[in-house]
């Protein structure tokens, strides 16, 4: 059996640091892969590979769940009283927070006022969050109270369902529209009257995405496809009058790209299940 490691406070609370040169390292790794460690003297210009990476990032944000992380943003009520908000009834969400990318709000899937069903203001571990557990296990200590405990649990479930339905009927949801191109969050209904919480998806740092094996394979396949297309247009012969087969290069890239896309599709939303 392996050892159980205990992380210290620094290990658990210190965010990872990323080298700003990770893009150049990624470009060099892609170039080495495509050329077979310089065995084949041909490659795309670095600027074209960089453009492919930028487009690949956008595709991954839409299709690859690990390229983003869930988070919450808090907006105080004072923001909605400013003249700037009243003019357009819109806010601009943050872009990448560091030089290496990441932290950009890519999508928003929930807007809640403080105290709503999504974000209550009195949820603490000191105000009875374990009342239901105490009710259940307290009844199990004495046989005569087991039936009463189960009956109380039944009442709890019924009442909780009624409370949730009442919230949906009485609480006016905040309607909104978010543009991923302009990063503008527009409130299409009434202005919030309290502090607001946003449930968002944020992009991970570029360097973290570059370390993903799937992203590397996707970009490498795109580079090979582009390289094959350029060679087919202009023609290219190696020294010794050796002809380069552009169709084979493009076909290899397309085959790898299809495998990566299929792998991403089959990986989405799959949970492990054990059968006895």
List 73's β-bridge partners, or say none.
198
Last residue of a domain, one of 139, 170, 201: 170
Q: What is the pLDDT of residues 120-169, one digit of tens each?
A: 444 333 444 455 566 556 655 555 555 566 677 777 788 878 877 776 66
Indicate whether 26 belongs to any domain: yes
Instruction: With H, G, I as helix, E, B as strand and everything else as coil, classify residue 170.
Output: helix
- Domain final position from 142, 170, 198: 170
Residue 21 gets which letter from DSSP? T
Residue 185 in domain:
no
Q: Is 162 domain-assigned?
A: yes
- Is 219 in contact with 23 (CB distance < 8 Å)? no
Cβ-proximal residues to 111 (8 Å cutoff; 6+ apart), any chain:
174, 176, 187, 196, 197, 198, 199
More confident of the two residues 123 and 184: 184
* Residue 246 is assigned to a structural domain of this protein: yes
**This prediction's pTM:** 0.72
Task: Tell me if 177 is assigned to some domain.
Answer: no
Cα–Cα distance measured from residue 137 to residue 84, given in angstroms and rounded to the nearest whole number: 54
Residue 158 lies in a domain: yes
Range of the domain at 164: 131-170
Ramachandran quadrant class, 174 (left: phi over 0; alpha: psi -120 to 50; beta: rest): beta
pLDDT computed for residue 222 by the predictor: 95
The whole-number average pLDDT for the span 181-192 is 88
Residue 56 falls inside a structural domain: yes
pLDDT in tens, 198-255: 999 999 999 999 999 999 999 999 999 998 888 887 766 666 676 777 888 899 999 9
Total number of domains constituting the chain = 2
Q: Could you give the angle at which helices 46-63 and 213-234 cross, rounded to 10 degrees?
A: 130
94 in any annotated domain: no
- In angstroms, the CA 89 to CA 185 distance is 9
């Amino acid at each position: 059996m392996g050892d159980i490691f205990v992380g210290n406070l620094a290990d658990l609370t210190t965010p990872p640091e990323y080298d700003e040169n990770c893009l150049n390292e990624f470009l060099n790794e892609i170039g080495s892969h495509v050329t077979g460690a310089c065995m084949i003297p041909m490659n795309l210009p670095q600027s074209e590979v960089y453009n492919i990476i930028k487009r690949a990032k956008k595709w991954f944000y839409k299709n690859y769940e690990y390229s983003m992380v869930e988070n919450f943003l808090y907006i105080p009520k004072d923001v909605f009283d400013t003249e700037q908000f009243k003019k357009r009834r819109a806010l601009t969400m943050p872009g990448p927070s560091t030089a290496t990318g990441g932290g950009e709000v890519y999508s928003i899937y929930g807007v809640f006022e403080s105290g709503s069903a999504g974000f209550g203001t009195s949820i603490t571990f000191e105000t009875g969050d374990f009342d239901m557990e105490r009710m259940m296990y307290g009844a199990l200590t004495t046989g005569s109270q087991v039936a009463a405990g189960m009956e109380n649990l039944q009442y709890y479930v019924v009442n909780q369902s009624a409370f949730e339905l009442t919230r949906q009927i009485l609480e006016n949801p905040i309607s909104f529209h978010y543009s991923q191109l302009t990063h503008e969050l527009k409130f299409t209904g009434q202005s919030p009257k309290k502090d607001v919480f946003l449930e968002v998806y944020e992009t991970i740092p570029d360097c973290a995405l570059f370390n993903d094996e799937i992203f590397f394979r996707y970009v490498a396949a795109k580079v090979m496809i582009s390289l094959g297309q350029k060679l087919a247009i202009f023609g290219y012969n190696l020294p010794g009058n050796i002809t380069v087969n552009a169709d084979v290069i493009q076909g290899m890239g397309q085959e790898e790209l299809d495998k990566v896309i299929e792998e991403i599709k089959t990986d989405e939303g799959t949970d492990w299940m054990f059968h006895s």
